[in-house]
Amino acid sequence: MAAAESGSFSAAGRLLGKAQSGVSTAVANLEIDLGAQLFDRSRKYLTLTDEGEALLRDALGVIRGAQRLKDRALSFCAEEDTHIRIVLDEALHPEFIEQYLRPFEEMFPFTELDIQTGIFNDVEGYVAAGKADLGLLISSGIPKRLEAYKLLSYIPFQAAASRHHPLTQKEGVSVGDLEDERQIVVTSRGEDKDTEVTHFSQKRWLIDSYAACASLVERGLGWAFFPAPLLKSALAKRDILPISLELEIREHASPLYLIRNRNRKLGRAGQWLLRNLGEYQI
């Protein structure tokens, strides 16, 4: 590589602190071993042959790979986690990416992050079963299957419908108005079908995805409660508007918990996530 960069064996020798003859002999022996001529020696300055160009690219790749291997091994010595599994309520996914992933990547480039999503008690189930190390859980009450949790904030939910839905055309929508229209209810993906919202309408469809729910709502097939962070971010560009509710049914919020599996020992990267997620606010 030094010979290719400098254009002569003499200059390469000076860069490497070796005699010109030693560099020349080393290159000749390498060419014999590879069965290919690496340099065109017919001119004043050395130039790589086509074979030499191709093998130089391969050599640079090997060197970069070796450096990555060394850096990763050093990160292990510094007690950095090799792998962290985190599960997020689907409603928080966009905000989590925005607030935490970029600084995490810069500080812990060799830690593999496995990000899973769930809804309501799915999140607690993943952590309790050892399928995730940390979780951000939206729940109607205190986590039942874990001892390690911290209340962070409260997530407001807001009723919304398509721009052309009858409920968005009216001011001061009442309980009776909600009962007359189909409600799309987002539930967890487990068998229990957990949900955090009140069932106002007898005409209900259940669905286990906010994205799928938004598609139905946008097409005017019903109205639904959405977490406020989702309405502000992921759904902001969709044709969905908040419903103007009467005062007595306007407030609805669910607690947000940081939960963890205590059986999993966290290294520097995991402790960084635990510390920073512990300050999460909506």
Final residue before a domain boundary, out of 77, 95, 117: 77
Tokens of 204: 């209900």
Mean pLDDT for the chain overall: 81
Confidence band, pLDDT 50/70/90 cuts, at residue 73: low
Whether the Cβ atoms of residue 238 and residue 218 lie closer than 8 Å to each other? yes
Does 270 lie in the same domain as 221? no
Q: Does residue 122 lie within any of the structural domains?
A: yes
Does 242 lie in the same domain as 167? yes
- pLDDT of 185 higher than 50: yes
Whether the Cβ atoms of residue 178 and residue 251 lie closer than 8 Å to each other? no
pLDDT in tens, 194-204: 776 678 888 99
Whether the Cβ atoms of residue 2 and residue 15 lie closer than 8 Å to each other? yes
pLDDT score of 78: 43
* CATH code of the domain in which 182 resides: 3.40.190.290
Domain count, the chain: 3
Does 147 lie in the same domain as 273? yes
Confidence band, pLDDT 50/70/90 cuts, at residue 60: confident
Distances (CA, A) of 250 to 71, 155, 187, 236, 239: 53, 14, 21, 20, 21
Does 73 lie in the same domain as 91? no
Does 232 lie in the same domain as 101? no
Whether the Cβ atoms of residue 117 and residue 131 lie closer than 8 Å to each other? no
Does 247 lie in the same domain as 159? yes
Q: Does residue 166 lie within any of the structural domains?
A: yes
Does 234 lie in the same domain as 106? no
Range of the domain at 140: 83-152+256-277
* CATH code of the domain in which 266 resides: 3.40.190.10
pLDDT score of 75: 44
Q: Does residue 59 lie within any of the structural domains?
A: yes
Does 176 lie in the same domain as 221? yes
Q: Does residue 282 lie within any of the structural domains?
A: no
The average pLDDT across 38-67 equals: 76
pLDDT in tens, 158-176: 899 999 999 999 888 888 8
pTM of the complete model? 0.67
Does 145 lie in the same domain as 268? yes
Whether the Cβ atoms of residue 259 and residue 132 lie closer than 8 Å to each other? no
pLDDT score of 74: 44
pLDDT in tens, 243-279: 888 865 656 788 999 999 888 888 888 889 888 888 7
* CATH code of the domain in which 42 resides: 1.10.10.10
Whole-angstrom Cα distance, residue 72 to residue 64?
12
pLDDT score of 220: 93
pLDDT score of 79: 57
The average pLDDT across 40-57 equals: 78
Distances (CA, A) of 259 to 103, 104, 105, 161: 21, 19, 22, 32
pLDDT score of 69: 59
Q: Does residue 102 lie within any of the structural domains?
A: yes
